[in-house]
Amino acid sequence: MLKYIPGHSTIIVGSRTGGSGRVLANWMYNVGPRDGFMFGLVHKRMGLEPHVYTKGTKFDGRELIWIGSMVSQKSVCFIWHTSKVKTFNNAQKMEVIVGTN
């Protein structure tokens, strides 16, 4: 990041429990300093989180400023081989238990 910031800047790297997700976005929005000197790396869809998963979301994604993406992210879903669900079309018609990180 230093090559993208003018001058001789210093970056202090920190981590938070729940970082890169809703916990970090909630903290940045409600507790963190609003002085322009802090930025966080969150999941690509975090700005939409208040609309797709309202439980525990305490920020307005429209007020976050997106400066870029460090990676191109692809999402993949796996189902155990013994499941009745064998295709995406099946998954839209049958109940299936899934996990996420």
Greater model confidence, 4 or 86: 86
Decide: pTM greater than 0.95: no
Within a domain: 101: no
Domain membership flag for residue 38: yes
Q: How confident is the model at residue 99 (pLDDT cuts 50, 70, 90)?
A: low
Query: For the chain, how many structural domains are there in total?
Result: 1
Long-range contacts from 61-69, C-beta under 8 angstroms, 24+ separation:
61/25, 63/29, 64/25, 64/28, 64/29, 67/39, 69/44
Domain boundaries, position 38: 1-71
pLDDT digits (tens, 9 = 90+) for 20-71: 688 888 998 999 998 888 888 887 778 888 887 788 899 998 888 878 777 7
Task: Tell whether the model's pLDDT for residue 101 goes beyond 60.
Answer: no
